[in-house]
Amino acid sequence: MAHSFARVDPSLCWNCRESLSESDLCTSCVKIQPIGHETDFFSILGLPVRLTIDLSELTERFHAKSRLFHPDYHRLEDGKEQDISLNNAALVNQAFKTLRDPFERALYYLDLTGPHHSPQGQKTALPPDLLMEIMELKESLEEQAESEGAAGAFQRLSGKIREAEAAVLEKMAELDGIPEGTDRALLLSFRASLGRGLEYRKYLKSIERDLKTRTTPARGQTV
């Protein structure tokens, strides 16, 4: 089993050594080509690196790449090709999963285009007053769930989450709209604002999760 695809020259086909006119498939020997380790999720699906994506276009791209790479279509080929197919299909699936969800996509985008690109992601800190507000919201929701039942608390929280998500989506569109060559400080402040919005939403979602586990009796394990 080949474990890495460190190729001498990624512009040549791994099989016939012809130069590649497209990155996925060699036009002369019709072999699929390995996706490089450094390729980002947007490029894997052939999309520009942007925060807003048309979901139906994304799905179409995903399907097209799956039809090219999925192991089911390479099952009767030799080991090397099966290996490429497996790796590529795994990357395509990961890319689609990340980009499909706008909030995961935004996190990934910030990380990818950020100044200190790191696989661990960046830590965004919320200002103390906002953290305070979140704590208070949590307590009041728990009280509400206790006194008048969970339904009302969930409803109030869902409203908050919807607001937060709408704000994040708006910021994503804004950031995409900033023209090239805009002042760097301004760009960074937009990015920071988006990062905070995402972090805020994450807190609300974790309150929702906590509330759910507290109010629903443990269901039987169905495994």
Partner 1 sequence: MSRTVVGIDLGTTNSLIAVLRNDRIEVIPDGEGRSLLPSVVALAQSGVQVGYPARARLNDPETVVVYSAKRLMGRGYEDVTGELPHLSYPVEEIRGLPMIPDRFRNRHLSPPEIGALVLSELRKRAELYLNEPVLDAVVTVPAYFNDAQRQATKDAGEMAGLNVLRIVNEPTAAALAYGFGSGKDGLFAVYDLGGGTFDFSLLDIRKGIFEVRATSGDTHLGGDDFDAAIVSSWLSELRAGTGFHDRPEVRDLLRKEAEKAKIALSGKDSVTVSIPALGFTTTLTRKTLNDLVEPLVQRTLEPVRKALDDAGVETRDIDGVIMVGGATRLPRIKEAVQDYFGKTLYDTVDPDLVVAEGAAVQGHILSGQRKDLLLLDVTPLSLGIETMGGVMSTLIPRNTTIPTQAKEMFTTFLDGQTRVDIHVLQGERELSRDNRSLARFSLTGIDPMTAGAARIEVTFMIDANGILDVRALDQRTGKSQGVVVHPSYGLDREDVRALVKDSYVHAKEDFETRLLIDARTEAQTVLNATRRALDRLDDDIVPKEERLLIQNQMDRLEEAMKGTDGRLVRDETTRLDKATQPLAERLMNHSVQEALGGKQVDG
158 lies in the binding site for partner 1 (CB under 8 A) = no
Structure tokens at 29: 């020997």
Residues touching partner 1: how many (CB under 8 A)? Answer: 28
Query: Cβ(32)–Cβ(24) under 8 Å?
Result: yes
At CA 85, angle to CA 84 and CA 88, rounded to 5? 80
* Contact call for residue 4 and partner 1 (CB under 8 A): yes
CA distances, 67 to each of 61, 93, 186 (Å): 10, 12, 42
Instruction: Return the DSSP state at 36.
Output: P
Phi, psi of 162 (to 5 degrees): -60, -45
**63 makes contact with partner 1 (CB under 8 A):** yes
> Measured from the CB of residue 94, what is the shortest distance to partner 1 in angstroms?
6
CA distance 37 to 95: 13
List the interface residues with partner 1, window 89-118 (CB under 8 A): 89-91, 93-94, 96-97
CB 4 → partner 1: shortest distance, Å?
A: 7
Least distance (Å) from partner 1 to the CB of residue 178? 31
- List residues near partner 1 by CB under 8 A: 1, 3-4, 6, 59, 63, 66-67, 70-73, 75-76, 86-87, 89-91, 93-94, 96-97, 219-223
